[in-house]
Amino acid sequence: MPDLYTREIPATDPRLKRHVVHDPRSKGFVVPESNINRATWRDRKIRVYDPRPNPNQTVGNCTAVAKAIQFNAVGNRRRGVILGMPYAMSLYSLETQIDPFPGSYPPDDTGSNGLASCKAAQQKGDGGAYYWITSGADGVVQAVMDGDVVSVGTEWDNDMFTPDSEGRVHPGGGVAGGHQWTCRGYWKDRDWILGRCWWGEFRDFWIARADLDNLLRNDGDAHVQERA
């Protein structure tokens, strides 16, 4: 079996427990770069049916939260079902049992990775096929244009905790840890991508496409997954 590339990302915040796991076999399951067609890019926001009030992630289950958000999206959800934090906690527990890192939750809040979230969702019967986006932020935007909420795993910088007056986060200030979050929209004039996570009042935020591209190039990854 090919060797996995793994890297644990030290975190200064308990919510930032995304680690890096890249499997060479994933290269056989990618969204073709030829799918990118910038002529189709326009303003778009994919509706996501998240619980209200917005759940507040307090442990390192960001990989599972991102999966729940994907499965709550229009076109990818089960009618009448809105997944919440109990689902994300259950999925996270399974992820930590199948990922390559020691410890499992509970009681070990060791974090996990995007690949484990896909496999765990399949094992639970909730997730179907999943595909990796290897064309950076351009591929993420195209997936949004095609109607998919994208789960991205990146480093999260200290300056990104505080969006500016327009709701945009700016990488910088040193790495605070690894985070799994989702991309559900695009603002064409600004060339900004709309992200979402479950941090209480911190929910939707913008990030420049160039900034996301840089994050993805540094051991990041992005994927889409069908709801089973």
In a domain, 44, yes or no: no
pLDDT digits over 105-162, tens only?
A: 999 999 999 999 999 999 999 999 999 999 999 999 999 999 999 999 999 999 999 9
Total count of domains within the chain: 1
pLDDT digits over 158-200, tens only?
A: 999 999 999 999 999 999 999 999 999 999 999 999 999 999 9
Q: What is the pTM of this model?
A: 0.97
Q: What is the CATH number of the domain that holds 61?
A: 3.90.70.10
In a domain, 114, yes or no: yes
In a domain, 43, yes or no: no
In a domain, 42, yes or no: no
In a domain, 58, yes or no: yes
Determine contact, residues 180/92, Cβ cutoff 8 Å.
no
- Evaluated on CA atoms 158, 161, 162, 166, the torsion sign reads positive
Expressed as residue numbers, the domain containing 98 is 5-37+50-227
